Amino acid sequence: MTIRVLLADDQALLRATFRILIDSCDDMEVVGEATDGAAAVDLARVHRPDVILMDIRMPGTDGLAATSVICADSELADTRVLILTTFEIDEYVAQALRSGASGFLGKDVTAEALLAGIRTVAAGDSLLSPGATRTLITRFLSAPGLGTRLAAADDLNGLTTREREVMMWVAEGHSNDEIAQKLFVSPLTVRTHVHRAMTKLGARDRAQLVVMAYQSGLVQALPPEER
């Protein structure tokens, strides 16, 4: 299957570069280009892309507002947002993840990493490295009063013990293969537990599951002296 990609960035040269790179792959194609968030929302509803490469800082409606609208639209439930930013760790990225973005990449990313990131997000996984996840969570996602709160402790009552355990490892930034090794089960079994936890909690994808793990208190953010 071909991964359909929508580009949302106000820099024409960057969009052109991404288009050439993506269209050179047999399993991907660019279906549209937006210069601001409002256009990204409109084009997403027209083209129903699999992945949107979304810049945060754009004139008019920015990428953060656009991500919130797109991820809240039930008709775009299969569309994943991959944030592109000059600053990999900032509160805007944290808010985008709360809104439903599936991960983020720096604009200085290599061509190979960009294409791998698109494929990862299109497959339903999140693009959050362990180091970036811990830093992001510690600084922003667990802080009160910042954006939408997705989960409280009681929301996890419907999870099994193993689902909570897997969710905890996911929140620490571990892959399915790494979790499988820790729990002495197969990666497929881990993926099943992740999917069930997401379904029960209403998580859009793995990235929102991470947010929920910290906001519910299942995993604690590191104190300042340990960051």
Tokens of 57: 């800082």
* Calculated CA dihedral for residues 67, 68, 71, 73, nearest 10 degrees: -120
Q: What angle do CA 105, 106, 111 make, to 5 degrees?
A: 80
Tens digit of each residue's pLDDT (9 = 90 or more) over 56-108: 888 888 898 999 999 989 899 899 999 887 755 556 767 777 778 888 887 77
Q: How far apart are CA 168 and CA 29, in angstroms?
A: 35
Tens digit of each residue's pLDDT (9 = 90 or more) over 107-150: 778 899 889 889 988 887 777 655 555 566 666 565 555 455 56
Whole-structure pTM value? 0.73
pLDDT at 224 over 50: no
Asked if 114 and 176 count as a contact pair (C-beta separation under 8 A), the reply is: no
